[in-house]
Structure 1
Amino acid sequence: MMIHPLSELSRAHLSTAGGKGANLGELTRLGLSVPAGFVVSAEAYAEHARAWGLAERVAEHLASARWEAAAAEVAEIFARGALSPALEGAVREAYRALGAPKVAVRSSATAEDLAEASFAGQHDTFLDVEGEEAVLVALRRCWASLWTPRALRYRAARGIEHLGVDIAVVVQRMVPADFAGVLFTVDPVAQRADRMLLEVTPGLGEAVVSGQATGDVYRVRREPLAIEDRDRREADRPAPSEALVLALCRVGLQLEAHFGCPQDVEFAFAGDAVHLLQSRPITTLGAAEIEPLPPLPKLTRLQEKMSSGNDDRFPVAPKPLDQWGFRMFIPALLRTLRFLGAEVDAAEERAMLDQVWREMLVMPQPRPTLRLLGLPGKVAASLRRDWMGWWEGEAFGRIQEACAPVDLRALDDAALLGRADRIAAMTADVLGERFQGIVGMLASVALQVPVTAAVGKKRAAVLMADLFSGLHTRTSEVNLALHQLARRAASAGPEVSGAIREGRPEALADTEGGRAFLGEVEAFLDAHGHRETTGQYLSAPTWRQDPAPVWGLLRGLIDVTEPPSEEAGLARHQAALEEVTQALRFVPGLPGAFRRTLERLRERTVFRERSHYDLTRPISAMQAVIAEIARRLHERGHLPNPEDVFYLTEAEVRAWLGGEAPPRGEVEALVRRRRATYAVVNGRWQRRAHPPDAAGTSGSELRGVGASSGVVRGKARIVREEREFARLKPGEILVCPYTNPAWTSLFGIAAGLVTNVGGAASHGAIVAREYGIPAVLGAAGATERIVDGQEILVDGTEGRVKLLGQGGEVGGVSGVGGVGGVGGAARG
C-alpha cells in the first residue's frame, strides 16, 4: 500500500512509515491527541526512486563525496519525474478524506528518530499547505530533502549508507495552536535526570524547533511534579496556564515509560487541549555526568576591560580542540603585553594555554613594570612605521607560503602534524608583530583630548566616530564583490535569479546559465572562502566549508540595485575634521598635527581590517588539517564520527594519531561526556554574554554604544545567525546578536544596525560608519526585547533604541532634528 492512515500504524511500521510516522501511529494507538493524517509510505518513495534511476545517477557523486552535486542531481530528478497515476490518485483521495484542510507535510526517513541518531532538522517540513496540487509539490520536496547536502553529510558522519535509507511523508491537519514548543522529559542542558525542560512560545512551535525563536523556558521537577522556575523572555507575552504545562509533563512521563527512554516531545496547546506532534528519543544525553568545570574567575577591572571586546568575535563557547587554535593567538597577545611593558605570571600563562573548558575568554592579570614609561615612545614609533608595507611585502608572503595548498592525504601522520605546527608557529609570530602595529591605535586616546577641548565632552563622542568614517577596507571590497555577484545573478535570467530568490541554489545546476553562475560563485569562494562565520574558531566552518551564508547574502542582495557607497562616510569624516580643526585653529601648529595623527590612525584601522582578513587563511588551513586527521581517526576506528574530533584535546589528537587511542567503548564515553559538558559550558557562556535582565534597558528604550551617528526609523528585522541572512530586506533595520566581517555585507541594504554586544571599535562599527548607517552596538537584550517586524528608532548618536508601536510616538529621543525627519529611513 502507498497510503496508510496514522491510526493503522505503530512502532512496528518503521520501514513503512519512517521514524516520525511510526511514532505518531504509536501515539495515536495510545489514545493520545494526535492531529489526524496519513503517511505516504517509504515504498512509494523507493518505487519512484527506482523508476527514475536515482541510484545510478548519484553513484559517482556519492563515491567522491560531492554532496552539493549529488543534491543538485536529486533535486532535478524529483522535480521533473512523473508521479505514477496510482500514487497521485491515492494522495488526492486521502487529502480529500481529511476534508482538504491546511496540513503539515513532514519528512519521515526510515533511519529517523532512533535512539542513536535523531536526524532532527535534517529533512524538510512544510506548514500551512493547502490544496491537492500544493500537497503533491510538498511531497516531492520532502522526498528531495533526503538528499540535501546537510542530510548527506549527517549520514556520512554517522556511517549510514545513503542508498539504504528511504523516506516516508506524513500529512497531518494543522493544529490552530495558541502555544507550541518542545518538552524534554530529562533536562539535556543541565544533565539533570530529576527534572524536565520545556520551551514554549505563542503560535506554532516550528520556530522553536528550528532555532529561529526563543520561547519561555520552564524547569519542572519530576517527583513530585511541580514547576521549579520559569524564564520569561518578554514580560507581557502570553503564556499557557500552569495546569496545562503540568498536564503536558504528565503525558511526557507516560511517553517515557511507554518508549523506555527519555523523550523529546513536540506539542501544541489549543484551548485546554494538549496535541502531540512528535515524540522521539533524546539522543544528546549520553552519560549523565559532566567533566569538572573550574569556577568562574573574579576579574579585576583591567581584566574586564581587556575581555570586554570578545562577545562579538566569539558568540559561542569554544570546543576543546579550539584550544589548539588559541595556541596560535595567546602567545602573540602575551608578547604584546610584554612589549607594552607589563609582565605576566608564568603559571597564569601555562593555565591559559592548557585550559580546555572556557566560560569566558580572560586575559591573565598583567603586572606593570618600569618599561611602561616607554609606552608613549613605542606608540609614536608604531605610528611612524609603514605597517601595510610590511604586511604586503613580508607577512602576507609568509602566510601564503605556510598555507599553500598541498595534498594532505599524501602526507604521513608526522608530516600532517608538522604542517599544523608550521602554520601555528608562523601565525603566532606574524600575529605578535601585527599586534605591535595595532599598538599605535592607542594614540586615539590622546586624540580625544583636543577633540574634547574643541567641541565638549558630549559632542566629542559623536565626532570621534565620524572622524573614522569613510574608510576603504578589505571587508568593504569583499562586500562590493558580493554585491556585484548579486547584480550578475539578477541580470542572468529567471532560471538564475528565480533559484536564488526562492532559496534553491541547488537548482542552478539544471541550466546552462545556472551552471555558469555557479562557476562565478566558485571563483568568489576561491578568493574569499576563508572568511569566518560564527567566530575565529577551528570548529567554526568558513564560507568555503559551508556556503549557506553566502547564498543567503545573495538572496538578500539580488534586488538591491545600488552598491554600498562610502561617500556618506567620507562626507561625515570631512565635516567632523573641519569642525575640529576650525576650533583648534587658534593654537599654532595644532590643526596640522591633529590631521597627521588622525590620518595615521585611519591607516592603522585599514591595516587592522586587512590583516584580520588575511589571518583567517591560516585558520582555514588548520581546519583542513584537522578534517584530514578526523578522517584518519574515524577510518582507523578510533573516532565514532569525524565531527567528534572537536571534543578532543590537541594532546589526545596527537596521541591517538600515533596509535595510542583508548578502546572504542572508552572513546564513545569520552565523547558523550564532552558533548554534555559543552552543552553546560555554552549555556553559561550565553547567559553571561546575554543576561536576561540586562542593564541599560527600561520600558520602551534600550541603551548601548553609539557606534555610527545618525537617526533612522524603520522596521526591525531579527537575524540571529548567518543562515538567516536572506530574511533582511532593503530598508529594514538589522537587529542581531553580534556582527563580524561576514555580517557586514548586509550593511549595504540595512537602514540601521542594533546588536546585543559590540562596541565602537568593532568590525561592525567600522563598516557601519563606512556605509553611513546609524548603529547602536552593545544594546544588551536587543534580540529579545525587540519584536521581529516592530517599528523602532535607532539613534546612533546618543546610543539609544526607541521601541515603537504602529504609529507610535518618537518622544524623548534626541538628535532627531537635522537628519531629514523621522518619517522614513533617514540617515544622518
Structure 2
Amino acid sequence: MKTALDFSDIDGGMLAEVGGKAANLGELTRAGLPVPPGWVLTTEAYHEVAQAAGLDDVIATGGPGLAEAARTRLLEAPIPEAIAASIRAAYTTLGKAEAVPVAVRSSATAEDLPFASFAGQQDTYLNVVGADDVLDAVRRCWASLWTDRAVAYRDSNGIDHASVRLAVVVQAMVDARTAGVMFTANPLTGRRHEAVIDANPGLGEAVVSGAVNPDRFVVDAASGEILDRHAGDKRLVIRALPGGGTERVESAHDGLCLTDEQVRDLAALGTRVEDHYGAPQDTEWAIDADGTLWLTQARPITTLYPLPETTREGLRAYFSINVAQGVMGPLTPMGLSAFRLLSSGAAGVFGYGPAEARDGAAFMFEAGQRTWIDLTTALRSRMGRAILPRALTMGEARAAAVLTDLFEEPRFSVIHTSRRPFFRAVAHFARRVHAPTRVLQALVRPDRALAYTRRLGEELDRRLRVPGSATPVQRLDHAERMLSTTFPVAVSLMPIVITGYGLFALASKLSGRSMSDMQDVLRSVPNNPTTEMDLELWTLATRIEPEPFRNEPVSELVRRFRAAELPPKAQRGITAFLDKYGHRGVAEIDLGVPRWSEDPTHILGVLANYLRMEDGGDLAPDKLFARGAAEAEAAVARIVATARRRGALRGAVARFGLRRTRLFAGVREMPKFYLVKTLAAVRRSLLVVGEHLVATGVLERADDVFFLRIEEARSALCGGDLRELVTERRAAYEQESRRRHVPRIVLSDGTEPEALSSVAAEGALIGSAASAGTVTGRARVVLDPVGAHLEPGEILVCPSTDPGWTPLFLTAGGLVMEMGGAMSHGAVVAREYGIPAVVGVPDATHRIVTGQEITVNGAAGTVTITENEAAAQDEPVISSA
C-alpha cells in the first residue's frame, strides 16, 4: 500500500486512510475547487511507527499521564527508512526547487466530522522548507494527536483513543497577502446562506488562532449583498520567512483588508463548497500576491442545529416540543413514531386530524431527532398573536418573548384575520371532551369531577391490557390504536383544570390582587400524581431499613433488589412503589427509554440519598408539604378577607373559587400521567415484538425495536436483517445525545431568533420568576438526575426537568432552570414544595459552577452569584448510568 497519496487520488470516503482534513482536501480537489497542490502521508505510516513505539500498551494503561506518555513515545520513535524515503520523494513532486515552502498539517481519522470538527486539536506547521524539516514536522504532527486538549476532546465526544490514527497533509504554501476563515452559514444566528468572513493581512494563522481582531464581513450569499462590514484592529500579522518558519509582526493596518469584490468572490466560493457537500461549511482561504483566491480547508459547521425538512413555502417558525417538555436529548425512532401518532390524536381533538395517523399532525416536524411544532400559521394570524404569547408565558417564558419579537418581522406579517377557524377549533374541542358537562360538574359536584379523573385511569388500565397470547401483529395494531386515541381521552380532564384556574383568575379580580401575589394558594395542592409520588417515596424512605442503603453503592442495591435480597420492608415497599409508579422515568415522553420498573437505579439512588441524610426534623419534606398546605389555607383566608372588604358576595365567590382552585390545580398533571402510562404499556408490548424479531434473526436485542419506526417494525415481521440499520441509528442517537444546545425556536432559514435578541449584561443571571422566596446556598449543577446526589439545602441548577427529576426537589433549597415558564413542570412543583425558583435563565448550567454560593430570588426572577470562586471543584453531574 502506498503511504503517500496525491490529493487527486483521494476522495471523501477515505477517512480511515487519510483522516478528515485530507479527505476533504482530496474531495475539494476532485471537485475542481481552487486547492493548493499537495499530498498526504497515510494513517498506515502512523500506525507502523505507533506499533513500534508500543503505543498500544500506553493506551491500555490509560490514566492521567496518558497524553504525555504517548507524545514522548512518538517523539522518540525513529521513522522507518521506507516511510522517510516516501516522504522525501513525495516532497519533490511539489516543485522544481529543492526547498519548496509547504504547510505540514495533521489529519486525524476523528476530525472534521459532521458531529465533531476537532478544529485546532492537532498541530499545523507553516512554511516548512526542506525534506529534513518536513520529516521533523511529520513526527511532531503524529505526537500532536496526543496533546492534552486532543485527548480531552476525544473523551468528551465518546471516541475511543485506540481507534484514532493520524495522517499528515503536506501542501504547497500560499504566500498569502490576506487570509482568514469563512462560514457559509452564520454561526452566531444559525442563518443559512449568510456567509461570515473574518480576514487579516498575512497568513490565516493569525485569525484561526484568535491572536488578532480581524475584519468581519457578513454577506447574503444568494444576492451578494454585503450586510455588514466591521474593521478589526489587525494589530498582528503573521508572515512567512524566506528560509522557513514564520514571524509575527506588529501592524497598524488602516481600513479594510478586502475589497467588496473580493468579499463577493469569497461568498461565491463558499456557495460552491456548500453546494458540493450539501451542508454549511467552515472554510479557510487565502489570497496570494497575484490576487488568486485559494481554498485551504473545509469542514462541516458542527454547531448548527439541523432544520426540519419541509416543502412549505416562505419563512417558517418552529417551536421545540422537547424544550417544552423538559427533555433536551433526542428521541428514539420509535419514540418519534409515537409522537406522530399522539399528535394525530391531538389534532383530531380540534378537528384537524390527518388522513393517516402515522403521518402525524400537519403542524408536527422532526429535526435533530427531536420534535417541533410549526407555529407559522398562528404567528400570521390575529388570534394566534393574541393567544400564543400568553400560553407560552406560562410554560416557556423566554420562548414567548422571542415569539413576540417575531411579530415585528415583515415576513411574518398577519395574513389570517378571521377568527372563525379558532372558534371552530375550540367548539370542536369542547364537543369532543364534553367540556360543558365537565365544567358544570367541577363547579357543582367536585367529588364527581375527581371521581371521573380516577375512573378515567381505571378505564385506561383496562384498555391498555394486551392478552399474553396476542401475536406481534396484534400488539402493533394495539400500540398504534392506543397511541392515536389516548390523547383525546387524557385531555378530557383539562376542562376541570381550566375551571380551577379560571376561578383563580376570578378570585384575583374580585380581591383586586394580582395572580402573581396569590401564588401561595397553589402550594401543596392535593390530587397531583407527581407530588403524591414524590411524597410516597420520601415516606418509604422513613419506613424501610436504613441498611444497606447507607453503605452499599447503587449498583449493588439494584442487584440485591432484582434478586429479592433487600431487607423485607425495603423489598416490599420498593416493589409496591414501582407497581404504582414504575411506568415513570426520566425523559419519559420517549417510549424508547427504560421505565423505573425496568431500571430502578434512579429510584434506589434517591432512596439512598434520603437515608444518608440526618433527620430532617421540621425540614422533612412531608412536614414542609403539610406546612405549605396550611400556608395556602392562610393565603386563601387573606385573599377572601380582601375581597370581602369590597363586598360580602365578592368574598363568598372568592372563597368558593379558591377552594375549587386548590381542589383541581393538581389535576393538571394527570393527563401527562395517563399519557406516560400509555407509553409505558406500549413499550412493554413492543419489547415482546422485539423478542420475536430477535428470535427470527432480524434484530440483535429486543430493545433494538425502539430504533425502528413503527411501520418498519411491522415490515420486519416478514423477515430480513436490520441489525446494521439499528447499529447506525444507535450511533446517530448517541451523537445527538451529546448536543448541548437545542434552540427554543428556530426559523426555516436556520435563524435562532433568541440569538438576535438582546441579552443580559455579563454576569447578570436573569430569568422568569417561578416560585416566590429567596434562598442562598451552594449550587449543584446537574445535567442528568440519574446518579445525582443533592445535599439538603443545595440549589439545583439544571437545563430543564420532567417528573423523573422531582424526587430531587424534596431536598433542594432552590431551583434554577435554563428552560421553562411560570407553569412549566419544574416551576409548578417548586411552588407546591415552597422552593424558590427561577426558570428560563440563559446558559445557567455553564455560567454557574457546582460549589458556588448563589442567591435565588424567586419573586424577582434573578440569580446572583455571591461567591465567584467555586467552593468545590465537582464536575456537573451528567450520568452515572
Q: TM-score, normalised by structure 1?
A: 0.58
Q: 1:589 is paired with a residue of what secondary structure?
A: helix
Name the structure 2 match of 1:317: 330
Name the structure 2 match of 1:401: 462
The amino acid of 2:768's aligned partner reads V
Deviation sequence 1:24-81 (CA, Å, 0-9, x none): 9999997645999xxxxxxxxxxxxxxxxxxxxxxxxxxxxxxxxxxxxxxxxxxxxx
Tell me: CA distance 1:436–1:298, structure 2 relative to 1, closer, same or farther (3 Å). Answer: farther
Structure 1 distance, partners of 2:467, 2:582, is 17
Structure 1 distance, partners of 2:698, 2:590, is 24
Following TM superposition, by how much is the alpha carbon of 1:773 offset from its aligned partner in structure 2, in angstroms?
Answer: 1.3
Name the structure 2 match of 1:794: 856
Q: 1:626 is paired with a residue of what secondary structure?
A: helix
Following TM superposition, by how much is the alpha carbon of 1:388 offset from its aligned partner in structure 2, in angstroms?
Answer: 4.3
Tell me: CA distance 1:807–1:621, structure 2 relative to 1, closer, same or farther (3 Å). Answer: closer
The amino acid of 1:778's aligned partner reads G
Q: How does 1:574-593 map to 2 (within 5 A)?
A: 574-585=633-644, 586-593=646-653
Q: How does 1:110-149 map to 2 (within 5 A)?
A: none
Asked if residue 186 in structure 1 is aligned to residue 111 in structure 2, the reply is: yes
2:507–2:657: 8 Å Cα contact kept in structure 1? no
Following TM superposition, by how much is the alpha carbon of 1:483 offset from its aligned partner in structure 2, in angstroms?
Answer: 1.5
Name the structure 2 match of 1:294: 309
Q: Give the number of the structure whose alpha-carbon radius of gyration is greater.
A: 2
User: Structure 2: which 5+ residue stretches go unaligned?
Assistant: 1-48, 77-107, 123-144, 159-167, 174-179, 189-206, 212-299, 379-417, 746-751, 871-881
| One of 509, 516, 520 as aligned partner of 2:573 | 520
Structure 2 distance, partners of 1:526, 1:373, is 38
| One of 606, 609, 622 as aligned partner of 1:556 | 609
Instruction: Choose 463-472 or 579-588, whichever is displaced more.
Output: 579-588
Structure 1 distance, partners of 2:691, 2:775, is 50
Name the structure 2 match of 1:20: 60
The amino acid of 1:668's aligned partner reads E
Structure 1 distance, partners of 2:707, 2:170, is 34
Deviation sequence 1:508-538 (CA, Å, 0-9, x none): 7899664763453233222221113114111
Following TM superposition, by how much is the alpha carbon of 1:578 offset from its aligned partner in structure 2, in angstroms?
Answer: 3.4
Deviation sequence 1:587-616 (CA, Å, 0-9, x none): 341222222223323333222224433432
Asked if residue 700 in structure 1 is aligned to residue 763 in structure 2, the reply is: yes
Structure 2 distance, partners of 1:654, 1:358, is 21
Name the structure 2 match of 1:333: 346
User: Structure 1: which 5+ residue stretches go unaligned?
Assistant: 1-8, 37-182, 212-220, 233-240, 246-284, 809-828
Structure 1 distance, partners of 2:146, 2:557, is 31
Tell me: CA distance 1:427–1:393, structure 2 relative to 1, closer, same or farther (3 Å). Answer: same
1:750–1:773: 8 Å Cα contact kept in structure 2? yes
Q: 2:512 is paired with a residue of what secondary structure?
A: helix
Following TM superposition, by how much is the alpha carbon of 1:569 offset from its aligned partner in structure 2, in angstroms?
Answer: 2.3
Deviation sequence 1:457-505 (CA, Å, 0-9, x none): xxx253242221121322222212212332345xx36544211589765
Asked if residue 750 in structure 1 is aligned to residue 812 in structure 2, the reply is: yes
Name the structure 1 match of 2:832: 770
The amino acid of 1:712's aligned partner reads V
Structure 1 distance, partners of 2:315, 2:210, is 47
Name the structure 1 match of 2:794: 732
| One of 655, 674, 677 as aligned partner of 1:595 | 655
Q: How does 1:42-81 map to 2 (within 5 A)?
A: none
Following TM superposition, by how much is the alpha carbon of 1:774 offset from its aligned partner in structure 2, in angstroms?
Answer: 0.8
Instruction: Choose 221-230 or 186-195, whichever is displaced more.
Output: 221-230
Tell me: CA distance 1:185–1:206, structure 2 relative to 1, closer, same or farther (3 Å). Answer: closer
Structure 2 distance, partners of 1:495, 1:19, is 37
Asked if residue 447 in structure 1 is aligned to residue 520 in structure 2, the reply is: no
Tell me: CA distance 1:696–1:550, structure 2 relative to 1, closer, same or farther (3 Å). Answer: farther
The amino acid of 1:770's aligned partner reads E
Name the structure 2 match of 1:686: 742
1:454–1:580: 8 Å Cα contact kept in structure 2? no
The amino acid of 1:595's aligned partner reads R
2:333–2:709: 8 Å Cα contact kept in structure 1? yes
Name the structure 2 match of 1:420: 479
Following TM superposition, by how much is the alpha carbon of 1:448 offset from its aligned partner in structure 2, in angstroms?
Answer: 7.4
Identical pairs, percent: 24
Following TM superposition, by how much is the alpha carbon of 1:638 offset from its aligned partner in structure 2, in angstroms?
Answer: 2.2
Q: How does 1:532-543 map to 2 (within 5 A)?
A: 532-543=585-596
Q: TM-score, normalised by structure 2?
A: 0.55
Q: 2:347 is paired with a residue of what secondary structure?
A: helix
Following TM superposition, by how much is the alpha carbon of 1:332 offset from its aligned partner in structure 2, in angstroms?
Answer: 3.9
Instruction: Choose 513-522 or 200-209, whichever is displaced more.
Output: 200-209
Following TM superposition, by how much is the alpha carbon of 1:651 offset from its aligned partner in structure 2, in angstroms?
Answer: 1.4
Name the structure 2 match of 1:251: none
Tell me: CA distance 1:679–1:24, structure 2 relative to 1, closer, same or farther (3 Å). Answer: closer
2:765–2:864: 8 Å Cα contact kept in structure 1? yes
Structure 1 distance, partners of 2:458, 2:506, is 34
Structure 1 distance, partners of 2:734, 2:373, is 18
Q: 2:550 is paired with a residue of what secondary structure?
A: helix
Name the structure 2 match of 1:639: 699
Following TM superposition, by how much is the alpha carbon of 1:317 offset from its aligned partner in structure 2, in angstroms?
Answer: 2.9
Structure 2 distance, partners of 1:511, 1:414, is 35
1:469–1:570: 8 Å Cα contact kept in structure 2? yes
Following TM superposition, by how much is the alpha carbon of 1:205 offset from its aligned partner in structure 2, in angstroms?
Answer: 5.0
Name the structure 2 match of 1:547: 600
Q: 1:801 is paired with a residue of what secondary structure?
A: strand
Q: 2:856 is paired with a residue of what secondary structure?
A: strand
Structure 1 distance, partners of 2:717, 2:609, is 44
The amino acid of 1:801's aligned partner reads V
Deviation sequence 1:230-287 (CA, Å, 0-9, x none): 999xxxxxxxx98799xxxxxxxxxxxxxxxxxxxxxxxxxxxxxxxxxxxxxxx9xx
Following TM superposition, by how much is the alpha carbon of 1:794 offset from its aligned partner in structure 2, in angstroms?
Answer: 0.5
Deviation sequence 1:314-363 (CA, Å, 0-9, x none): 3223232213322453244224435xxxx689799653578687654316
Name the structure 1 match of 2:785: 722
Deviation sequence 1:420-461 (CA, Å, 0-9, x none): 24533552442242344444356268437517x723xxxx25
Tell me: CA distance 1:508–1:608, structure 2 relative to 1, closer, same or farther (3 Å). Answer: closer
Following TM superposition, by how much is the alpha carbon of 1:557 offset from its aligned partner in structure 2, in angstroms?
Answer: 1.2
Name the structure 2 match of 1:607: 667
Structure 1 distance, partners of 2:154, 2:755, is 20
The amino acid of 1:424's aligned partner reads L
The amino acid of 1:714's aligned partner reads G
Tell me: CA distance 1:395–1:730, structure 2 relative to 1, closer, same or farther (3 Å). Answer: same
Deviation sequence 1:100-132 (CA, Å, 0-9, x none): xxxxxxxxxxxxxxxxxxxxxxxxxxxxxxxxx
Structure 2 distance, partners of 1:10, 1:679, is 28
Structure 2 distance, partners of 1:750, 1:207, is 34
Name the structure 1 match of 2:687: 627
Q: 1:757 is paired with a residue of what secondary structure?
A: coil
Instruction: Choose 526-535 or 796-805, whichever is displaced more.
Output: 526-535
Aligned positions, number: 578
1:754–1:776: 8 Å Cα contact kept in structure 2? yes
Structure 2 distance, partners of 1:780, 1:448, is 34
The amino acid of 2:653's aligned partner reads A
Structure 2 distance, partners of 1:391, 1:654, is 36
Following TM superposition, by how much is the alpha carbon of 1:707 offset from its aligned partner in structure 2, in angstroms?
Answer: 1.5
Structure 1 distance, partners of 2:503, 2:328, is 27
Q: 1:521 is paired with a residue of what secondary structure?
A: helix
